[in-house]
Structure 1
Amino acid sequence: MLTIQKLKEISFRYLDQQAIEITYMLNEVSQLIVLTESTIIYPKNLYHNKEQLELYIFYEQGQILKVTHVQEVTKIETMFKHQLTNITYESGLETGMLELSFVDGRVIKLTPHVETNHIYR
């Protein structure tokens, strides 16, 4: 999990296609909500070029946003923390995982050791 500032620093450090996507996605989201330092962001598949980049934004008002950018189209899905039915967290040096289950059957599984390459862990 990152703060908005840390994600911006990473995207400015590596000027590549994903950095451009991150900047564009954050600009789109910031037109809808105010991103503050207390906003937590999880960049799924960051610099894992085999998979599409997804940003999960945990907004302090109880919303969870999933942001994707495909073929110049930014898509923002909104979920709410009151729709959570189960949260599973595992901690370990190479096995950390957070799984969020929702009432509609949707499951979000965040596994940093799988979703990025070893350089950016």
Structure 2
Amino acid sequence: MREMTYSIFKDQAAGWGWEKTYYLITTIEKFANVESESVVFYPKNLFVDNENVEVYFFDNQKVTVFTGKEEASSVKTLYYRQIESVEMEYKDIYYPSQLTVKFLNGQIIKLNSEVDTNNTWMNRFTKKIEDIFMKLN
């Protein structure tokens, strides 16, 4: 079972057509340390139709969030010292998980392995969410 890496993400994104992903990939490669082994990478909505792709890089001090649209992209950084709460939810031991991270400034990150990807990748995204939870605690 392969893990979703940035390299696999980039290959998948290229399949959507260069015009749609050019700004997102360019912004990520300008501001993210895509090769670091200490970073947990999470691509939200990668295989979800009609949703903007959000790409998260959780390093040791912050999360950097990239949002891609057809003709634009954005990047924001949220620091862990500003976290108010971190909550992990399971339907049961075998079902997808959801992670909710609330920040003092009102920002909320919700990652859900059931809705953020397709059935093929769901279990692997659950593992990524667990890794992010462990990094934040």
Q: Give the TM-score normalised by structure 2.
A: 0.70
Deviations for 1:56-114, whole angstroms, at most 9, x for unmatched residues? 11123x11111012132120011100000000012432231111001012211100111
Gaps of 5+ in 2: 123-137
Partner residue of 2:15?
16
Query: CA–CA distance in 2 between the matches of 1:32 and 1:52?
Result: 19
Q: Tell me the equivalent position of 2:27.
A: 28
Post-superposition CA distance 1:17-43 (Å, at most 9, x none): 17872x753442332343312211111
Cα gap change, 1:34 to 1:15, in 2 (>3 Å) = closer
Count of aligned residue pairs for this structure pair: 117
1:85 aligns with 2:80: no
Partner of 1:111: 112
CA contact (8 A) 2:53 2:67 kept: yes
In the alignment, residue 65 of structure 1 is paired with which amino acid? Answer: T
Paired letter, 1:49 = D
For residue 113 of structure 2, what is the amino acid of its counterpart? P
Q: Which residue of 2 aligns with 1:95?
A: 96
Closer/same/farther in 2, CA of residues 33 and 46 from structure 1, 3 Å limit: closer
CA–CA distance in structure 2, aligned partners of residues 7 and 18 of structure 1: 17
2:49 paired residue number: 49
Aligned-pair CA distance for 1:44? 0.8
Matched, 1:120 2:128: no
Distance (Å, rounded) in 1 between the aligned partners of 2:83 and 2:44: 20
TM-score (norm: length of structure 1): 0.78
Q: Secondary structure at the match of 2:95?
A: coil
Identity in percent: 22
Which stretch of structure 1 is more off in the superposition, 42-51 or 32-41? 32-41
